[in-house]
Each structure stands twice: as C-alpha cells, then as structure tokens.
Amino acid sequence: MRILAIETSCDETAVALLSGEGDVLRLEKSIIRSQIDLHETYGGVVPEVAAREHLQLMMPLLHQALADGDATTKGEDIDAIAVTAGPGLAPALRVGVETAKALAWAWQKPLVPVCHLEGHIYASWLASEVPQFPALALIVSGGHTELVLMKDHGTFERLGETLDDAAGEAFDKVAKMLGLGYPGGPKVAQLAETGNVKAFDFPRAMLDRDTFEFSFAGVKTAVLYTLRKHEDRLADPQFKADIAASFQEAVVDVLTHKTLKAIHKVKPATVILAGGVAANLALRSRLQAVCQAVGVRLFVPELVHAMDNAAMIAVAGYFRALKGDFVDPISLQADPNMDIV
Ligand code: KG4
Ligand code: ZN
C-alpha cells in the first residue's frame, strides 16, 4: 500500500510518501518546510500567517513529492491519502485537510484522518526495529504532555495529562523570559548545556501524587519570579545558563519520574518518547537511563522525525488504512481539539 500524507497542524508544511507491506515500511519521500523564520519576528506562531504559508507551499511540495521525472503522478500509484485532522491551529489544519479532501475526491482514493499525537507516537515505527505492545508513550509537544498506553495499533488509553501548560509550551515561555526568542525549546536546551542544574531549586509539581497528571505552570512562574528577583544579573550569561539548566532539570525530573511510575504500574513491553520535546537530549538520555535500569526498551525517534513531519502521519495513516479507517471526503472537517482517545 502506498500512502500520501499531508501535515499542516502548526508551522511546518510537510508531505510524505510511504509504502508498506505488512509490518515492513519504506519511507520514499519526506519533505518538511519550516516557517520558523517567518514567525520568529512575531515571537510565536500566528495562525493566519501559518495558513497562508501552508497554502503557498502546498502545491510545490506535492509536486516535489509526486514528481516522477517531469511528470506528476495523477494519483494512479497512490492507494490512500492520510492527513492530520487535528489537534492544531484551525486555519493551518484546514489547508492540509481541504487539500487532502480535494485529492481524495479527484483521484477517488480512500481518505484517512490522522490525530497529530498518534502520528508523533508512530514516528518510532520509522526505524528498522519497532516498539512492541503494550507500549507506554510519553507524548511531549508544544501543545500536549501526556502518558498514553498503546495496547495495539490504533488502541490508546490515556493514563494522565498536563492540567495546565504542556512541557514544550513551558520551554517556549521560559525562552521568551530569557530573551531567547522563538522557538524556545532548542534555545533553552542549548543554553542549559553551560549551566548548573543545581543553581536554582525549581518546583517539581505533582511528583509524589499517585496520578499521571502533570503541571508545568508552577515551574514557569518560579522562573519568572527568580528573574524578577535577580534583575541585576540578567546581563550575566552564566546566570541565564543556570536558569535554563535548572529549569530543564526540573522538567526532565518530572517527566522521567512519572514515566517510571507508569512503567511500574502498567508494565509495558516497550516505552516510546514522542513529540517535539523528544528532541531534548537531556530528556532522551535520562529516560534512556531510567528504562535501562528497569529493563524496558525505549524507542526514541530520530531527531528529524521527532519534530513535526508528514512521515509520521503516513505511518499512522498506513496502520489505520490497513483497518479500513476511512472517511467520506465530503464530510471531513479539521478538528483543532481532536484527541487521541
Ligand atoms: O511536536 P512539535 O514539533 O509541535 C507540536 O506538535 O506542538 O513540538 C514543538 C515543541 C515546541 O514547544 C518546542 O519548543 C519543543 O517542542 N522543542 C524542544 C526541543 N526541540 C523542540 N523542547 C526542548 N528541547 C528541545 N531540544
Ligand atoms: Zn507536533
């Protein structure tokens, strides 16, 4: 089966082509155009600006993905079209969804709506070895932080999620406070490399509670108060690096601690780290150490597949297509609040 996938949920326009036979997948093309430069001037993603850019990039990217020599396929060799239907920014999502609908209708091909979070989990299927079920997934992105138990393809149970900010969101906000700009996560992570993780004792919310819920609003506010208290040190690069390192340490502590708790409770065969924050090296290595200590294999996507991309949407779409999870192209609507369960 050959899948064409489209992803436009936030500020990456992405198109991918993937072939699959049983459990054997082959990623043929994965094209990602980031809009970072465009949104940097606004200090964050502006939904309407993102949508306009998706519109401009969509046809050239499709042409690039589907071109065979000079000719573009008319869809004869595509078996299904997968698209991110949500969650995400409504105007941005609509571009991908309406494009996928039009192609499915014109080519008369089945259409598979994919949840963006499910896509992030499936990024771990883009490697030669893949997770076993039941798999425990820690999803950490700009909009979501949750622990999900994946019992089989397409079968999810949420164990807990953040009650306020997502981990990525906290990284982005702290970056703003430190004057690092957008997108914040990678910049905070980079600055943290030269900082002391013990310089500030930031709160680790809900650590001892017997639930799998998270809260990152407290640590973000604690950073703000610390910056206000030490206004005179703001020009000191070491001070900022110490803040970044101590903040990152608090977030990584909570994420790994809760994941370990979930491992003890649900005893998964494998653990999956998913979402943009999976690009964080401190989180990757700490979670790796924790999983190794308890003898559970951790799957972490390659960096290029950790951030938003269409390859992961193609994989999720492929496994849904195998089960015939198709929708009528006339009725599909983008769903900004779409959930994995
Ligand atoms: O999954 P993603 O690309 O988009 C969403 O679905 O939200 O995740 C983006 C988030 C942003 O908040 C970004 O700051 C964060 O992932 N991020 C990181 C790192 N790279 C990206 N956070 C911490 N450390 C990183 N290295
Ligand atoms: Zn994402």
Provide the residue ranges of all domains of the chain, joining segments of one domain with +: 2-122+305-322, 132-300
Confidence of residue 42 (pLDDT cuts 50, 70, 90): confident
Across the chain, mean pLDDT equals 96
- Would you say 247 and 191 are in contact if contact means Cβ atoms under 8 Å apart? no
CA distance 132 to 271: 9
The answer on pLDDT for 37 being more than 90 is: no
132-300 and 2-122+305-322 share a CATH fold: yes
The ligand whose atoms approach the alpha carbon of 279 most closely is 1
The 3-state DSSP class for residue 127 equals coil
Give the span between the Cα atoms of 210 and 93, in whole angstroms: 36
Nearest ligand 1 atom to alpha carbon 172: 14
Tens digit of each residue's pLDDT (9 = 90 or more) over 127-138:
999 999 999 999
- Which residue type occupies 303? L
Amino acid at 231: E
In which band, very low, low, confident or very high, does the pLDDT at 118 lie, cut at 50, 70 and 90? very high
The model's pLDDT over 90-102, given as tens digits with 9 standing for 90+, comes to: 999 999 999 999 9
- Mean pLDDT computed over 310-330: 98
Q: Which has more pLDDT, 298 or 181?
A: 298
Mean pLDDT (whole number) for 47-71: 91
pLDDT score of 295? 98
Position 288 pLDDT exceeds 90: yes
Q: Does pLDDT of 70 surpass 70?
A: no
Write out residues with Cβ below 6 Å of ligand 1: 10, 141-143, 168-169, 171-172, 183-186, 189, 275-277, 279-280, 307-308
Is pLDDT at 22 greater than 80 in this prediction? yes
Structure-model confidence comparison of residues 49 and 76, the more confident one: 49
Q: Which of 7, 117, 138, 171 to mutate to test the pocket of ligand 1 (most atoms within 8 A of CB)?
A: 171
pLDDT given for residue 16 in this prediction:
98
Helix (H) or strand (E) holding 3: strand 2-7
Q: Where are the alpha helices (DSSP H) in 152-302?
A: 167-177, 184-192, 217-229, 237-266, 281-294
- Please identify which residue in the block is written with the tokens 């206004």: 231
Read off the DSSP letter of residue 166.
Answer: -
- The secondary structure element, H or E, covering residue 21 is strand 12-21
Cβ-Cβ contacts under 8 Å for 41 (sequence gap 6 or more): none
The CATH superfamily of 2-122+305-322 is: ATPase, nucleotide binding domain (3.30.420.40)
Predicted confidence (pLDDT) per residue in 8-20, tens digit:
999 999 999 999 9
* The three-state (H, E, C) secondary structure of 270-332, written as one string: EEEEECHHHHCHHHHHHHHHHHHHHCCEEECCCHHHHCCCCHHHHHHHHHHHHCCCCECCCCC
CATH classification (class only), 132-300: alpha beta
Instruction: Locate the ligand 1 atom nearest the alpha carbon of residue 117 and give its number.
Output: 6
pLDDT band at residue 31, thresholds of 50, 70 and 90? very high
Does the structure show a pLDDT above 70 at 62? yes
